[in-house]
Amino acid sequence: MCRRRFILRKVTGMALQAQTEIGPVSLRPLVVERVWGSQTLPAWLPPPAKGSLIGEAWLTAGECQIESEASLGRPFAELLAHSPGKFSANSDAPEFPLLIKLLFPNEKLSVQVHPDDALASSLGQSRGKTECWYVLSADPGASVMVGFAEDLSAKQVRDAIAAGTLEQKLRSISVKAGDMVYVPAGTVHAIGPGMMLLEIQQTSDVTYRLFDYGRLRELHVDQGLAAIKSATGAGIVAPQQMEGFTRLIASPYFVIDRFMVSTERAPLGKLGQMQILLALDAGCFLECSSGTALPLQPGHAVVLSAEPIVYSLRSAFGCSIIRIAEK
């Protein structure tokens, strides 16, 4: 395996200090219950307790536990706090810049919208929330809703919410496995059931629910109306073939690539830049310049800090790996 390059050590009382090199950081997924969630999860996640509906698995949250041996069981936030500048282009940011999730919707999610950076800042939030969804699997007829089908005034949106017809005003898009859907901040959107999504977003938990299908949860109509943008460019993004990988999307906040890895070593590139890897199949390995290799578990994020370590990917029989980098 890749050498464990970081050790968090006690230096004075409860104070901790990080060694200079960090290397690959493997994180344990954190499952989160949601009213729209499912009891059916991928085999690489523990089965949910009876009656629990799991809607999300957070892969890069600060609460995720480190799986690497040197700091086994410690929260990712602890490493972030003691390694400023290693995990974001903005060394002053208090948290990891990107939150990666897996979504398991068994029912429709609420119709909602997120603020952009400017609005979030005016409200005392660290950032807005632009996101995208990579469709890992989808039943026939599965769909998402992004933006309005026609221009609506704020009054028309408010009236549709009151009448329970807001969903009918949205643009519905059928999706299949392999589709990438871009959802910039300010886009009114919703996710339907019957699919599994990989969601990449700015780290923000600010969600304004506009309509929730009669569920007894708080709505945020006034805040949501202030956040809505009439045109955002949301929708399915066509992939681009690059040298050695496929570019799924490039946004102002993140760049996402897919590597189809075989027995031939695939150079990872982006030397010295923070990256997140997610294997979609078993049998994938991350190789370090030292010649050692780290197995990549499906559904477990591996974060590579901004260090000048040369990495490559390999598989015994072929697999797919998603690489996410901060823009």
DSSP 152-214: --HHHHHHHHHHT-GGGGEEEEE--TT-EEEE-TT--EEE-SSEEEEEEEES----EEEE-TT
What's 301's DSSP letter?
-
Amino acid letter, residue 127:
R
Q: Specify whether 209 is catalytic.
A: yes
Residue of 209, 247, 258, 314 marked active site: 209
DSSP 240-251: EE-SSSEEEEE-
Given its phi and psi angles, is residue 272 left (phi above 0), alpha (psi -120 to 50 degrees) or beta? left
Spatial strand order of the sheet with 143-148 comes to 170-174, 143-148, 189-191, 111-113, 208-211
To which H or E segment does residue 79 belong? Answer: helix 76-81
Please return the burial class of 158, using the count of CB atoms within 10 Å of its CB with bins 0-12, 13-18 and 19+.
middle
To which H or E segment does residue 222 belong? Answer: helix 221-227
Is the CB of residue 24 less than 8 Å from the CB of residue 286?
yes
Kindly list the catalytic residues: 209
